[in-house]
Structure formats: C-alpha cells, structure tokens
Amino acid sequence: MKRLIHISTILILTIGLISCDRIRNKTEQVAEKVKEKTKYELREQTQKIIDKVYPPFDHDKPDTENNRKRFTDFLKVEITSDVKNIYCFDDAIGIDADYMVAFTCNKTTSKKIIKSHNLTIDSLNSDNGFGMQSDFEWWDKERIENLQKYSWTDGNQYFKYYWYDNENEKAYFFDFDM
C-alpha cells in the first residue's frame, strides 16, 4: 500500500512538473510575442514621428509610397486613377524650404488642386523661382516657362506656384518659403 502511495505521489509530482514546464514555456512564448509586438509598434510610432518632422521624398523614382503620401500632404486632393508619375523633392535644409512635386493628371484633378489652394492666375507670369528649384529630368523648366502660372502667397514669405500643361496633362507644383 505504501509503495502504491509513493508511486502515486511520484506520478502526481511528475505530472505537476510537466504541467509547470508547459505553463512556463507557454508564458515565455506569450511574453516573447508581446515583446516583439511592442518593439514593432514602437518602431512604427517612431517612424510616424520621423515622417512628420522629416518626411521622406523619392526624387529618383515615380509613384513610390513616400511620393504618394507627399502628394496627398502637399496637394490636398485625393489620388485618383488619373494621377500618375508622381515625383517629389524637398530642400528643407537651412532657414528656407522648397518642395517640388511633378505628376500627370487630367484637367478635373488640376482644377481641384487650383481650388484647394486658392490659386489664381498670375497675370505677370514672371519670376518662376527657377533659381531655387533643383534640376531634374521630370521638372522641365523650359516647358514650365511657357505655361500659365497659378500662384498663392500669404503676402509675406510663403508661396505656392502651380503650372498645368494641358497638352501633356503634366502638372508642376512648387511650394516654398523665404
């Protein structure tokens, strides 16, 4: 009888130890998953903050996720199926900043952009700010010079210029401060 009790006790303790190991392993697995998820969420939140302070631009590739985000940030219109070949560039080093966005779109989208930024026809159509703009294949200064400019200013130091090429359905948006 004593022997049966000893064997039963050993079995109960063994089963208990195995169960404890399983619980410990499961707890460790859950803790590892929580740790990984927390690291991922922290990286995501950190990237969102960095993107707000220093938004990334991809001047050498069209239609990247960064350029699509910058299009929405700067143009304040929805990206519709006609919007393609989005290139963006920023020069935000120093006390002044300028941003260039070039893309193709139809006349309807162009009109939405003009309206959303309160742009008006620049009757002088001069001083296009070419000296502040960088040179890229997608930013055709010679073509822009022959297009009607729309503009907006806060009357002080902040400016927006916009050109739309009806023939090629190409738009150029230049946002800068001085």
- The residues spanned by each domain of the chain are 1-54, 65-177
**What is the C-alpha to C-alpha distance for residues 113 and 152, in angstroms, rounded to an integer?**
12
Max mean pLDDT range (37-51, 62-76, 130-144):
62-76
pLDDT value, residue 167: 96
Number of helices followed by number of strands (H, E) in the chain: 4, 6
pLDDT value, residue 8: 63
Tokens of 6: 């000893």
pLDDT value, residue 143: 95
What is the reported pTM? Answer: 0.72
Comparing 177 with 83, which gets the higher pLDDT? 83
Q: Give me the amino acid identity at 143.
A: R
Scored b (16 or more CB within 10 A) or e, 90-122 reads: beeeeeeebbbbbbbbeeebbebbbeebebeeb
**What is the C-alpha to C-alpha distance for residues 69 and 57, in angstroms, rounded to an integer?**
9
